[in-house]
Amino acid sequence: GAGVSQSPRYKVAKRGQDVALRCDPISGHVSLFWYQQALGQGPEFLTYFQNEAQLDKSGLPSDRFFAERPEGSVSTLKIQRTQQEDSAVYLCASSLSGGAGNTIYFGEGSWLTVV
Partner 1 sequence: AQRVTQPEKLLSVFKGAPVELKCNYSYSGSPELFWYVQYSRQRLQLLLRHISRESIKGFTADLNKGETSFHLKKPFAQEEDSAMYYCALMDNQGGKLIFGQGTELSVKP
Binding site for partner 1 (CB under 8 A): 3-4, 31, 33, 35, 40-45, 48, 50, 55-56, 59, 91, 95, 98-109
Given its phi and psi angles, is residue 51 left (phi above 0), alpha (psi -120 to 50 degrees) or beta?
left
Provide, rounded to whole angstroms, the least separation between the CB of residue 12 and partner 1.
20
**Tally of CB atoms within 10 A around 68:** 14
Provide, rounded to whole angstroms, the least separation between the CB of residue 44 and partner 1.
7
Provide, rounded to whole angstroms, the least separation between the CB of residue 106 and partner 1.
4
Rounded to whole angstroms, the Cα distance separating 21 from 100 reads 27
Rounded to whole angstroms, the Cα distance separating 65 from 48 reads 13
- In the bound state with partner 1, the residue whose beta carbon lies nearer, of 28 and 100, is 100
